[in-house]
Amino acid sequence: EVQLLESGGGLVQPGGSLRLSCAASGFSFSNYAMSWVRQAPGKGLEDVSAIRDSGDDSYYADSIKGRFTISRDNSRNTLYLQMNSLRAEDTAVYYCAKSRGATVNTNYFDSWGQGTLVTVSS
């Protein structure tokens, strides 16, 4: 059974940093692209970033470009999102999601975690 477990969320001040982690199990992590999707309070889903199986290709939504960095450690079956220069509008539940394929040109997300809440507030 595929399991994705996010961690690292919490309360941070504007301008601060956080690193989210997503521990994966139940599938061959190194063979699949992975993504981060977020949901702000009362809002819909927003595709934030994705990274291919090998880690050498990625993309970012314009809203987080230059501030967030996606990475992965295939030896630890773990996906990361380093979030810097955080803003109030980054407040959201952050989900990691497994892609159906290996590249960032995914077909769809076939498994999701339950999310971790990031709150940016002074």
Partner 1 sequence: DIQMTQSPSSLSASVGDRVTITCRASQTISSYLNWYQHKPGKAPKVLIYAASSLQGGVPSRFSGSGSGTDFTLTISSLQPEDFATYYCQQTYSTPYTFGQGTTLEIK
Closest CA to 69 of 17, 115, 108, 113: 17
The residues binding partner 1 (CB under 8 A) are 4, 37, 44-48, 50, 59, 61-62, 95, 97, 100, 104-115
Cβ proximity to partner 1, 14 vs 55, nearer residue: 55
* Residue whose CB is less far from partner 1, 106 or 122: 106
Tell me the C-alpha to C-alpha distance, in Å, between residue 108 and each of 36, 85, 90, 92.
Answer: 13, 30, 24, 22
DSSP H or E run through 58: strand 58-60
DSSP H or E stretch at residue 18? strand 18-25
Cα 113-46-19 angle, rounded to 5 deg: 55
- Nearest distance from residue 15's CB to partner 1, in Å? 25
Instruction: Please say which residue, 13 or 25, places its beta carbon nearer to partner 1.
Output: 25
* Closest CB 16 distance from partner 1, rounded Å: 24
CB of 19 to partner 1, least distance (A): 21
Q: How far is the CB of 79 from partner 1 (least distance, A)?
A: 15
